[in-house]
Structure 1
Amino acid sequence: MGKLLYSVTMSLDGFIAGPGGDMSWLTEHLGPNPMVDDLIGRIGALLVGNRTFGGDDPYKGVEEREGKAFGGGWEGPQFVLTHHPRPASADITFVDDLAEAVTAAKAAAGDKYVNVLGADVARQCLAAGLLDEILTLVAPVLLGDGVRLFDHPGGSNVKLEQLSVSHVPHAVNIWHRVVR
């Protein structure tokens, strides 16, 4: 079965979204990235937080990319973790239990990655010992406020093993494995 991967773009000061979940900052930092292009082909399913699913879109206003995973670069089954499930649609299933969502997403992904989207879902997966890897694209910008990559008041020490680092003009890609 595939691995659970949290992939995210983050500002240099540790924010993945601006205040109120604003994703407009990200638009100018999206661009060709061979690591992301390769990853998209290795994703079998998405596990998405409800706020991320219904939130701000960095491709807002770009007709052919708005509202689509990876700006339209990926299609497939999505599992949205929410306290208020709704009826499923063609590729979107709403689930109210983390373990159930992960199990269903992994089954749908087969031997490919389940890509986690959303800081809170990633934090929950990490706390439950379910997250396998983290890919962070660090963008050259300081946001100063917003949604943190990993916010756990009171803290916890999560050990990571660096798997790779690569650079593109608009980001530094850092891939880690979660050490258990």
Structure 2
Amino acid sequence: MAKLLYSATASLDGYIAGPGGDMSWLTEHLTGENATAERLLANVGAILAGNRTFGGDDPNRGTDSEGAFGGQYHGPVFVLTHRPPAEPPEDVTFVGDLHSAVAQAKDAAGDRYVNVLGADVARQCLRAGLLDEVLIFFAPVLLGDGVRMFDDPGGAQVRLAPVPGETAHWYSVVR
């Protein structure tokens, strides 16, 4: 059965996007090979994204690398939103309910990962007890402001445990 994994690249001060969702800061940090990212991509069976993430800034916009995983991901995408577009893009499913979106994405992913993209959707999955793992890549930059990796004022403490045999910053959610 598919696992729900939140993966993101964050600044060292914990931001995944700059003010207003700006992702341009990430461009200079997407160069070179990353064995963990390549292994992750090979094991992603579906993407679950929030509407802001789906329609937001892309550090590779207008290039061959535009899209998830630098344009290398080709598969089912589910977008959690209450405002789907009138003319949705092909191969993208818009879903208005978190549990339904997760179920559909897991079904599409089979025995691979559902990769969660977007801090708000990750927070919702975590609060609902649906998130299984967290993988964070850190870029050597301090943004100072923007969209936090996790922002849940009043939320409960969540314990994480390193995934055995995996790279640093890949954790299981302890239930």
Residue matched to 1:169: none
Residue matched to 1:84: 83
Report sequence identity in percent.
65
Rounded Cα–Cα distance in structure 1 between residues aligned with 2:134 and 2:57: 22
User: How many residue pairs were aligned?
Assistant: 172
- Structure 1 counterpart SS, 2:2: coil
- Structure 2 counterpart SS, 1:72: coil
Stretches of structure 1 that go unaligned for 5 or more consecutive residues are 167-172
Give the CA deviation at 1:71: 1.6
Give the TM-score taking structure 1 as reference length: 0.91
- Structure 2 counterpart SS, 1:70: coil
Residue matched to 1:170: none
Rounded Cα–Cα distance in structure 1 between residues aligned with 2:100 and 2:10: 28
Residue matched to 2:145: 145
What is the root-mean-square deviation in Å for CA atoms of aligned residues? 1.3
Find out whether 1:71 has 2:65 as its counterpart: no
Give the CA deviation at 1:162: 1.4
Rounded Cα–Cα distance in structure 2 between residues aligned with 1:162 and 1:30: 24
Give the CA deviation at 1:88: 4.8
Rounded Cα–Cα distance in structure 2 between residues aligned with 1:99 and 1:3: 14
Report the residue type matching 2:174 in the other structure.
V
Give the TM-score taking structure 2 as reference length: 0.94
Residue matched to 2:106: 106
Residue matched to 2:15: 15
Rounded Cα–Cα distance in structure 2 between residues aligned with 1:89 and 1:69: 15
1:22–1:89 distance in 2 versus 1, CA, 3 Å: closer
Deviations 1:68-111 (A, max 9, x none): 22121110000000011245543100000000000000000000
Stretches of structure 2 that go unaligned for 5 or more consecutive residues are none
Deviations 1:127-162 (A, max 9, x none): 000000000001111000000011011242000001
Give the CA deviation at 1:165: 6.2
Rounded Cα–Cα distance in structure 2 between residues aligned with 1:159 and 1:106: 23
Give the CA deviation at 1:61: 3.5
Larger mean CA deviation between 84-93 and 152-161 belongs to 84-93
Residue matched to 1:179: 174
Rounded Cα–Cα distance in structure 1 between residues aligned with 2:100 and 2:62: 34
Residue matched to 1:61: 62
Find out whether 1:154 has 2:116 as its counterpart: no
